[in-house]
Amino acid sequence: MRDVTFFIFISLIGFLPLRAQTNQPTVNVIEIDGAIGPTTYSYISRGIRLSEEDRAQCLVIEMDTPGGLLESTKDIVKAILASKVPVVVYVAPQGATAGSAGTFITLAAHIAAMAPATNIGAAHPVQMGGGQVDSVMQEKLLNYSESYIESIANKRNRNVEWAKSSVRESSSITADEALRLNVIDVIANDIPDLLKKINGKKVNGFVLNTQNAKIVPIKQTQSEQLLQFLFRPEVMFILMIVAIYGILGEISNPGAIFPGVTGAIALILLLYAVAAMPVNIAGFALITLAIVLFVLEAFTPTFGLLTAGGAVAFILGSFMLFEDLPRMFQLSWTFLIPATVLTVLFFVFVVSAGIRSQFMKIKSGKESMIGEEATALTDVDQHGGRVFIEGENWQATSFKLIKVGEKCRVIEISGLKLKVEPTNKTEENL
């Protein structure tokens, strides 16, 4: 027994150094492709947190973006500056760009890298964050963005003058120029080449060991993919249309259930997206006006004038809805025109007909007799009597005396008894 215990002990001693020698360093990688928005911040912040938990050598953010929202960019920059794990922003693949918001993010990285045939810059703020921007507000926003990128460049010891010119003059440069001007730290053909070139670099007192590191991709979660899908302007617009169709479809056809439930779900998703990506209030007001005009057409014989006005208001409102956001968040006319035509047809042939039917006089059943004229077969008072209506003999009561042969009007039906009132018309004697 003693020999067995000794053998196990010796085996464990020999095994522990072996594990230490085979403990391969890791590098986490995330990919950003497209506009910078709230989902991008969620993805990057999660990547930083996981990299810190995994004790990865660094987090590589492979990025290709034309720009995005200023608030999301600020959140990402703060997350990178506060990161305990080195963050490497790599503008790739070849042909990629770090435009506008991407410039801020790249400059904030501990190590900034680019692939050949890529570019960076053009960080001039253009109505980022929504709302109409006059010349004074635009100058304030420009000054703020310039000072913000200056502070980031100073923090990372990068070319401050070029960083300011990228905001003030929309300056854009290639990877080779960026390396020469001390905007980035390295040019790499791909991620393995990048890890080889940054190996041994010292970041915050930590020496990177990346040459033979294991590359661990961090993919977007399903919820992040869903949210990124929702934050696309065309998806938000479709959600708005579905919400309108569903809710008004339920109103025009009560009890259908499915349109109302679908419309309510679309409305909730739309409100969630709008909370993170503000829309133009004037555009929203024009769309609301269009809906009102479409509904009024059902009650007013204007021969399509209200519908035409609603169509104009709808397409202008839809175009203005995302007008104050960066260009990548705006809708194209090729998308808006079919949506407007479909909406007009929906209101003309579905909603208008349904709403009219809710206010039309009932044409079947005993309720259809309300308002109709009857003839008294006997004297009718509050105690009772009988009237003749639509070929049938009915019991009836009236607060005022109605004599035999006088006309009366049905005002209420209770079971098999009518409540009538005199019309002051008597049958003509023939």
403 CB-side CA count, 13 A: 4
Residues 51, 83, 100, 145: which is the catalytic one?
A: 100
How far is 30 from 18, CA to CA, in rounded Å? 31
Residue-wise DSSP of 133-186:
--HHHHHHHHHHHHHHHHHHHHHTT--HHHHHHHHHS--EEEHHHHHHTTS-SE
Q: Kindly tell me the sign of the dihedral angle through the C-alpha atoms of 328, 331, 332, 334.
A: positive
Q: Does residue 196 carry a catalytic annotation?
A: no
How far is 266 from 333, CA to CA, in rounded Å? 23
Contacts of 5 (CB under 8 A, 6+ apart): none
CB 116 within 8 A of CB 189: yes
Q: Does residue 100 carry a catalytic annotation?
A: yes
Residues 78, 140, 214, 403: which is the catalytic one?
A: 140
How far is 137 from 151, CA to CA, in rounded Å? 21
How far is 129 from 126, CA to CA, in rounded Å? 9
How far is 16 from 199, CA to CA, in rounded Å? 26
Q: So which residues are the catalytic ones?
A: 100, 140
